[in-house]
Structure formats: structure tokens, C-alpha cells
Amino acid sequence: MSRNFDFMRRLERERFDPDFGLTSVMPSQDEHRNGHNQTPGVSDTALRLVQQILLYPTHIPPRVVAFAGINHRVGCSHICSAVAKTLARNTLDEVCLVEANLRSPSLPKLFGTTNHHGLTDAVLQEGSIKSFAKLVSGSNLWLLSSGTPVEDVTDLIASDQLRQRLADLREEFGFVLFDTPPLTRYSDATVLGQLSDGVVLVVEVESAQQQPALSVAAHLASFNVPILAVVLNKHGLRIG
């Protein structure tokens, strides 16, 4: 339990700690004033995550990362997409942003496209993984949308076919970022976290309680899923 409380204390710190391997990102008070209908400080938060986690010069960076909110509507999709765009601008590698929230997808709308011909289709059909993704115009960023709706999302997420497709993504792209459903509602993010190099947690501090965050941390640890960073979004309270 002391390890979990140490984790919560570290949520308050905006720095990289190489001994603990956790980055906590809190938008500044000026960023917080940007409004309540949009994720405040998204671009700045994305840059910090890219610099401190994905392109940090003194360690081998994680190449496949799952982004997961603890609850609904914490800005996870906005942060994940902003990180993908920022990363693509700062690397020569191809970046693939994957809509892995098959239950309530939102990324295609952010990019002005559709969910058609995406992840579920890639799992259920043959063909190059790139043939199911869409190249974002004028960049090295690709979007793999959620694809055709399926009846049993849980079975598909746990399938060997999905595991193989994730291996294809790792082989084809320099970086792969997954936008996943909330950790407190579904097991999808945990499964994808196990198949990734780690998870970035997104917490809306004003509505978050200590115990749910501790429970999520303990849950991920029990499945050997590394927590790469924690984004404290829309902050107004201190946790600890």
C-alpha cells in the first residue's frame, strides 16, 4: 500500500524521475483558464509527454503506448490525438494513432473522417495493416479508426487475431498510440496495456478521488502493466 501512496504523491509533481520512471503532467493555471468545454493545455501537455516519455534522449523510448482515462470524459482522446500529432512533427518515423475505444469512438470525428474500414476490419480480414489505416494529409501520421461495429467487443479485444494485428502495427510503424476506454468501466485498456510498452493515465483531478486512482494503479500493477505517465487534467485540487 505504501508504494501506491507514493504513486499518488508523485501525481502532484511535474517532472521526470528516472528512478521511478513516472512523469506527472499538470497544466498550469493559465492553461486551466482556456475553458471547460475543451481540454486545457492540450498542446503543452502533449509536448511534455513527447519530450519526457516518447523521445527522452537518455533511455530507449516506448514505441507502443495505450492512453486510458480513469473515468469517462476526462479528455483522454484529445490528449492522445494531440500527442500523436506532436510526435509525428518531431520524428521521422511513421506514427499510427489507433481508435481502440470500440464502444464509443471519437477520434475519427476529431480528424474529420469516419470509422469505416478500421481496426475491427483488420482483425477479421486479411491484408496489410496499413491498408486499413488512413494517412493524415501532409504528415507521417496515420489513423486506424475503430472499424465496423462488432457485437462482442470483449472477445475481439482478447482474441489472438487482435494480438497478431498489434504485432503487425509494431512492425510497420515507428510509434503506435492507442486511445482506449476508461479503466474503471472495461477491461480493454488493461489488455491493450499488456500488449503495449506501458500506459499513460488521464485523470480529471477535480472529479477524481484518491481511492479509484490507487485501485487503478494496483490493478495495472497486478497485470504487470507499466504506468509511463499520469496526466492530471483540469486540475484545481491537490491529491495526496
Q: Which three cell numbers stand for residue 214?
A: 490507487
At 238 the pLDDT is: 34
3-class secondary structure, 96:
strand
Q: What is the 3-state secondary structure (H, E, C) of 108-150?
A: HHHCCCCCCCCHHHHHHCCCCHHHHCEECCCCCEEEECCCCCC
Locate 197 and state its grid cell.
Answer: 510498452
Arithmetic mean of pLDDT, 124-135: 95
| Rg of the Cα atoms in the chain | 17
Q: What is the pLDDT of residue 101?
A: 94
Q: Which of 68, 85, 74, 78 is nearest to 42 (CA)?
A: 78
Tens digits of per-residue pLDDT, 168-182? 999 999 999 999 999
pLDDT of residue 234: 62
- Pairing type for strands 16-17 and 22-25 reads antiparallel
Buried b (16+ CB within 10 A) or exposed e, 60-82: ebbbbbbbbbbbeebbbbbbbbb
Residue length, the chain?
240
With vertex at residue 186, the alpha carbon angle to CA 182 and CA 190, rounded to the nearest 5 degrees, is 80
Q: Is 161 left (phi over 0), alpha (psi -120 to 50) or beta?
A: alpha
Cα separation of 40 and 28, whole Å? 9
| Residue recorded with cell 501525481 | 11
Residue 222 host element (H or E):
helix 210-222
Contact 141, 97 (CB under 8 A): yes
pLDDT at 1 over 70: no
Amino acid at 220: L
Q: Is the pLDDT of residue 32 over 90?
A: no
Question: Is 208 a residue whose pLDDT tops 60?
Answer: no
pLDDT of residue 207: 54
For residues 238 and 11, the answer to whether their CB atoms sit within 8 Å is no
2-233 carries CATH number 3.40.50.300:
yes
pLDDT of residue 168: 98
Could you read off the pLDDT of 47-67 as tens digits, one per residue?
999 999 999 887 788 999 999
pLDDT confidence tier of residue 139, bands split at 50, 70 and 90: confident
